[in-house]
Amino acid sequence: MQEKCGVVGIQLSEGDAALPTYYALYALQHRGQEGAGIVTHDGFQQHSKKGLGLVSEVFDEDDVGHLHGLASVGHLRYPTAGEINENSCHPYTVTSKRGSLALAHNGTLVNTDEVRADFEERGHTFSTDSDTEVMVHELASNLVEHGLLEAIDKTMRRIRGAYSLTLMHDDRVVGVRDPLGIRPLCIGKIEDGYIIASESVAVDVLGGELVRDVRPGEVVMLDDDGEGFESYQLFDERPAHCFFEYVYFARPDSTIDERLVYDARREMGRLLYENHGVDTDIVSPVPDSGRAFASGYAEAGGLEYSEALMKNRYVGRTFIMPTQEARETAVRLKLNTMDSNIEGKSVTLVDDSIVRGTTSSQLVKLLRDSGASEVHFRVGSPPIVAPCYLGIDMASRDELMASDKSVEEIRDEIGADSLEYLTPDDIADSLDMPRSEMCTGCVTGSYPVEIEGESCERAETERGEKAGAD
Is the Cβ–Cβ distance between 420 and 293 less than 8 Å?
A: no
Q: Which is nearer to ligand SF4, 141 or 164 (CB)?
A: 164
Name the phi and psi angles at 41, rounded to 5.
-135, 130
Q: Which is nearer to ligand SF4, 176 or 366 (CB)?
A: 176
Q: Which is nearer to ligand SF4, 164 or 440 (CB)?
A: 440
- Of 7, 210, 298, 390, the residue at the interface with ligand SF4 (CB under 6 A) is 390
Q: What angle do CA 48, 52, 55 make, to 5 degrees?
A: 75
- Of 8, 38, 379, 442, the residue at the interface with ligand SF4 (CB under 6 A) is 442
Is the Cβ–Cβ distance between 179 and 217 less than 8 Å?
A: yes
Q: Which is nearer to ligand SF4, 39 or 250 (CB)?
A: 250
- Shortest CB 387 distance to ligand SF4, Å: 8
Q: What residue type is assigned to position 287 of the chain?
A: P
Measured CA to CA, the distance from residue 37 to residue 82 in angstroms comes to 17
- Shortest CB 434 distance to ligand SF4, Å: 15
**Alpha-carbon torsion, ordered 462, 395, 288, 331, to 10 deg:** 160
229 part of the interface to ligand SF4, by CB under 6 A: no
- Shortest CB 151 distance to ligand SF4, Å: 27
- Under DSSP, is residue 338 helix (H, G, I), strand (E, B) or coil? coil
Please list every residue from 237 through 276 that binds ligand SF4, using CB under 6 A: 242-244
Is the Cβ–Cβ distance between 107 and 183 less than 8 Å?
A: yes
Q: Which is nearer to ligand SF4, 284 or 353 (CB)?
A: 353
439 part of the interface to ligand SF4, by CB under 6 A: yes
- Of 55, 152, 182, 364, the residue at the interface with ligand SF4 (CB under 6 A) is 182
354 part of the interface to ligand SF4, by CB under 6 A: no
Rounded (to 5) percent helix, strand, coil in the chain: 35, 25, 40
- Under DSSP, is residue 456 helix (H, G, I), strand (E, B) or coil? coil
User: Which residues, listed in sequence order, are joined to residue 37 by a DSSP beta bridge?
Assistant: 50, 75
Measured CA to CA, the distance from residue 227 to residue 222 in angstroms comes to 8
- Of 28, 388, 419, 422, the residue at the interface with ligand SF4 (CB under 6 A) is 388
441 part of the interface to ligand SF4, by CB under 6 A: yes
433 part of the interface to ligand SF4, by CB under 6 A: no
Which ranges of 205-260 would DSSP assign to H, the alpha helix?
244
181 part of the interface to ligand SF4, by CB under 6 A: no
**Is 5 marked active-site?**
yes
Name the phi and psi angles at 365, rounded to 5.
-65, -45
Chain positions contacting ligand SF4, by CB under 6 A? 182, 242-244, 388, 390, 392, 439-442
What is the set of active-site residues?
5
